[in-house]
């Protein structure tokens, strides 16, 4: 049974953006891990105390005899480490407080970073012991700053701490500009949710930005599959049936093909000389606005022996525009560029 350890660091138990986005991550994790268990460590409701002299002395003391009770100063630390060690994945939600992470989160790590429990010293260097774990970190801040900025001490500190105990596979979901207007904040939260969707997406599924329903996703995915099937069969009419009446085909170095009739003639001519063994698309990102959706990705083609690819390069970057019509989603613009 998979286990998720969720650690919330925001002092706000209501209205916290980092907690809200972590809620969404938890829902997606639960969907992807049926039967999995979620352990919640809420540092606002149940704060971990800062280190005191007695706890530090217990950390530095020789280990107790085998089978003997641990010193009082180690009881909480041992419990937190056991909880952390039992998890497969770690979810941390943290706001930015005064250039860095909340002190409650730092206090938590002060209790779990312990020699021979979560790290060891091997030949004069430190080695993290929790290498089987992975983590996702949700951060939120009011302003806008690059994670590469010199004063960016939040994610740098979190990554450094996690790496020190052996957790090097870390996905960062960063929300900045949260003190902006409602529309901007909503867009940024939607993008963060889309990033989370991508983490749990099956191979080949793109990051989806905008109000896509499950029916939209299914229908657009069906268009991709039908396009590949028509190209492999060399069926120009089936391909044209997937397009709008004003379809545009844009290929560098070639005249723009506009309209369904010209598109059908162009594809029929291509298929007379080209025979495709495979046509594989890897959509990377799709964004919707109203009845339009723009998708970017990569596609690869392989020719049957003796066939020519015509305008197709073996590997291409593509941009497609889908339009929602009365008949459903259709290709409205097809554009591709060869990958050097």
For residue 246, what is the domain's CATH number? 3.10.450.50
Taking residue 84's Cβ as centre, other Cβ atoms within 10 Å add up to 23
Asked if residue 227 belongs to a domain, the reply is: yes
Give me the sign of the Cα torsion angle 153, 154, 157, 159.
negative
What's residue 333's pLDDT? Answer: 98
For residue 114, what is the domain's CATH number? 3.40.50.360
* Residue-wise pLDDT tens digits, 275-323: 888 888 899 999 999 999 999 999 988 887 655 544 455 789 999 999 9
243 shares a domain with 154 = no
77 annotated to bind ligand: no
- At 134, give phi and psi (nearest 5°): -130, 165
277 shares a domain with 227 = yes
CA angle 207, 209, 211 (to 5 degrees): 130
155 shares a domain with 16 = yes
173 annotated to bind ligand: no
What's residue 179's pLDDT? Answer: 87
16 annotated to bind ligand: yes
What's residue 309's pLDDT? Answer: 46
Domain that holds residue 321: 214-338
What's residue 151's pLDDT? Answer: 61
What's residue 95's pLDDT? Answer: 95
Asked if residue 7 belongs to a domain, the reply is: yes
Low-confidence ranges of the chain (pLDDT < 70): 67, 145-151, 201-204, 305-313, 340
Q: Which of 148, 172, 200 is the last residue in one of the domains?
A: 200
What's residue 204's pLDDT? Answer: 64
Tally of domains within the chain: 2
18 annotated to bind ligand: yes
Note the pTM of the prediction, 2 decimals: 0.64
What is the distance between the alpha carbons of residues 128 and 163, in angstroms, rounded to a whole number?
7
Beta strands in the chain (DSSP E): 3-8, 37-42, 89-95, 119-122, 125-128, 134-140, 169-175, 207-209, 243-250, 257-258, 276-289, 292-303, 315-325, 328-338
What's residue 150's pLDDT? Answer: 61
Asked if residue 208 belongs to a domain, the reply is: no
């Amino acid at each position: 049974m998979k286990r998720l350890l969720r650690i919330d660091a925001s002092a706000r138990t209501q209205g916290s953006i980092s907690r809200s986005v972590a809620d969404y991550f938890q829902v997606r994790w639960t969907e992807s891990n049926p039967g999995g268990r979620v352990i919640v460590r809420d540092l606002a409701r149940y704060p971990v105390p800062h280190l005191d002299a007695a706890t530090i002395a217990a950390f530095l003391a020789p280990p107790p005899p085998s089978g003997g009770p641990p010193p009082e100063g180690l009881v909480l630390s041992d419990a937190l480490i056991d909880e952390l060690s039992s998890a497969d994945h770690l979810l941390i939600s943290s706001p930015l407080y005064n250039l860095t992470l909340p002190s409650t989160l730092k206090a938590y790590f002060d209790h779990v970073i312990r020699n021979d429990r979560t790290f060891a010293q091997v030949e004069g260097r430190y080695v993290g012991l929790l290498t089987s774990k992975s983590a996702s970190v949700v951060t939120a801040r009011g302003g806008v700053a690059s994670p590469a900025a010199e004063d960016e001490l939040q994610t740098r500190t979190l990554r450094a701490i996690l790496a020190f105990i052996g957790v090097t596979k870390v996905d960062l979901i960063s929300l900045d500009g949260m003190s902006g207007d409602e529309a901007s904040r909503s867009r940024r939260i939607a993008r963060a949710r889309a990033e989370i969707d991508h983490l749990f997406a099956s191979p080949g599924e793109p990051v989806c930005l905008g109000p896509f329903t499950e029916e939209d996703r299914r229908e657009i995915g069906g268009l991709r599959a039908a396009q590949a099937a028509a190209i492999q069969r060399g069926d120009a009419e089936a391909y044209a049936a997937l397009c709008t009446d004003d379809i545009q085909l844009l290929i560098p170095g070639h005249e723009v093909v506009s309209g369904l009739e010209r598109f059908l003639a162009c594809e029929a001519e291509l298929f007379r000389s080209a025979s495709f063994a495979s046509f594989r698309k890897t959509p990377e990102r799709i964004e919707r606005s109203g009845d339009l959706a723009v998708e970017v990705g990569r596609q690869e083609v392989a020719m049957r022996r003796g066939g020519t690819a015509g305008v197709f390069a073996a590997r291409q970057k593509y941009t497609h525009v889908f339009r929602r019509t009365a008949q459903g989603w259709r290709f409205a613009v097809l554009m591709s560029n060869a990958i050097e």
